[in-house]
């Protein structure tokens, strides 16, 4: 099963995307619909609201009078908190019921207006945001909902900003063009990413990768992409993760790299990393264990063991290296990253080595091994930098 979070600001066209995904075969769970369902007449949710706020929040038929309730909670933080304490657990429970009832091969799309504001993103395999300019959204709200411009802009201002939504988005669907263009983008997302991602998760396999080596120019969004993956890994590992870090070439500003995010999880013991429950949770979250790279190339003549997981997402290749905190391999990954960040000439030298190897036609599978002689040659330089700078790894 693939879990997708879908969000977008008021007037963005999120409902159009949700409907298209439903038409394509997704199971769409609409948080707004559930919010109404749990306080419908006869529910314990409505009874709890009436008990807390009084019968004045009920209309003549005994249903919830939303304007009356809104007038009470608007601007009253305690009242709003009490209302959320009533509705949110019930919405969450109903959501779990619907997810649990979905078939194993489902793509479950959770349509949540406040996904970004509530920081729900780490709980999904992917977050899809429908992004639309404020001018377009205001125009739509005036035309389709009869709002005044002032009201429309006020509603927009009360929600997350575009910058906040972009930070949360694994997929950004721009909707400033025609409806046909938006639907075509949704169709492409469904075919090229969501369906293969779901299949990979269901079978517990990593996404396929081309054998031809391609080096990409530095992407300024790599750190944000890594940050979202870090949060998902922290959620899955819970207390078993001591550290979770973005490492590798994509963590070094300005350095060309394969478009693959490398992440390091530091655990107290590799026995923790081998717990069946954790391995299963990682696979279900889209990070299956693979047989690749079971150890690092040691610099001291010993074996540097680790556990290796890879992303099942065809749209975001990622490697997860699980190492014991304080181990030589764990320390080297952090030291090398920080040395590259602090020493531009060394970073340029590494980039030149990457280009040289790429010019030889080396495959992706052989690329990591092909770089080892260069790593061995600069090992003492990196250690010297660490000693002279007083560098120590961050253990939190």
Per-residue pLDDT at 284: 97
Per-residue pLDDT at 155: 83
Per-residue pLDDT at 266: 97
Report whether 323 contacts 268 (CB < 8 A): no
Domains and CATH numbers, the chain: 2-203 (3.40.50.300), 222-389 (3.30.460.10)
3-state DSSP assignment of residue 303: coil
Secondary element (H or E) of residue 338: helix 328-342
Question: Tokens 């979905």 map to which residue?
Answer: 102
Q: Give binding residues for ATP as ranges.
A: 11-16
Q: Distance between the two ends of the chain, CA-based, in angstroms?
A: 32
Per-residue pLDDT at 368: 87
Report whether 38 contacts 91 (CB < 8 A): yes
Secondary element (H or E) of residue 222: helix 222-237
Q: Give binding residues as ranges.
A: 11-16
Per-residue pLDDT at 226: 98
What angle do the packed helices 344-359 and 328-342 form, to 10 degrees? 110
Which residues of the chain register pLDDT less than 70?
292-293
Q: CA–CA separation, 95 vs 92, rounded Å?
A: 5
> For 162-207, how does the pLDDT look when each residue is reduced to its tens digit (9 = 90+)?
999 999 999 999 999 999 999 999 999 999 999 999 999 999 999 9
> For 64-102, how does the pLDDT look when each residue is reduced to its tens digit (9 = 90+)?
999 999 889 887 889 999 999 999 999 999 999 999 999
Q: CA–CA separation, 57 vs 86, rounded Å?
A: 14
Per-residue pLDDT at 292: 63
As a dihedral over the C-alpha atoms of residue 87, residue 91, residue 92, residue 96, rounded to 10 degrees, the angle is 160
Q: For 194, list phi and psi in degrees, rounded to 5.
A: -65, -50
């Amino acid at each position: 099963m693939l879990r997708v979070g879908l969000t977008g600001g008021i007037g963005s066209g999120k409902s159009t995307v949700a409907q298209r995904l439903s038409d394509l075969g997704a199971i769409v769970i609409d948080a707004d619909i559930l919010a109404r369902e749990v306080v419908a007449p006869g529910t314990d949710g409505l009874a709890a609201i009436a008990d807390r706020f009084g019968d004045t929040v009920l209309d003549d038929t005994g249903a919830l009078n939303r304007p009356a309730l809104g007038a009470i909670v608007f601007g009253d933080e305690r009242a709003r908190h009490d209302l959320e304490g009533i509705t949110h657990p019930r919405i969450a429970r109903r959501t779990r019921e619907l997810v649990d009832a979905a078939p194993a091969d489902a793509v479950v799309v959770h349509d949540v207006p406040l996904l970004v504001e509530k920081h729900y993103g780490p709980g999904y395999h992917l977050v899809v945001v429908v992004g639309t300019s404020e001018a377009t959204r205001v125009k739509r709200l005036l035309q389709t909902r009869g709002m005044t411009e002032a009201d429309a802009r006020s509603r927009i201002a009360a929600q997350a900003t575009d910058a906040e939504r972009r930070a949360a988005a694994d997929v950004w669907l721009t909707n400033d063009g025609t409806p046909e263009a938006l639907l075509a983008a949704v169709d492409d997302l469904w075919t090229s990413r969501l369906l293969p991602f779901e299949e990979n998760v269901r079978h517990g396999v990593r996404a396929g990768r081309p054998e031809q080596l391609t080096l990409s120019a530095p992407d300024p969004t790599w750190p944000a992409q890594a940050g979202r993956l870090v949060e998902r890994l922290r959620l899955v590992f819970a207390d078993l993760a001591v550290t979770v870090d973005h490492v590798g070439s994509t963590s070094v500003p300005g350095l060309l790299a394969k478009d693959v995010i490398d992440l390091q999880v530091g655990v107290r013991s590799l026995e923790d990393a081998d717990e069946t429950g954790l391995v299963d949770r990682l696979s279900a979250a889209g990070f299956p264990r693979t047989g690749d790279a079971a150890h690092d190339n040691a610099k001291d003549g010993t074996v540097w063991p680790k556990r290796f997981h890879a992303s099942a997402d065809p749209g975001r290749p990622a490697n997860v290296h699980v190492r014991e905190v304080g181990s030589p391999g764990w320390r080297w990954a952090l030291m090398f990253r920080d040395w590259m960040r602090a020493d531009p000439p060394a970073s340029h030298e590494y980039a030149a080595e990457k280009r040289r190897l790429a010019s030889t036609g080396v495959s992706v599978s052989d690329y990591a091994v092909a770089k080892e002689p260069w790593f061995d040659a600069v090992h003492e330089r990196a250690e010297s930098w660490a000693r002279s700078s007083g560098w120590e790894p961050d253990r939190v």
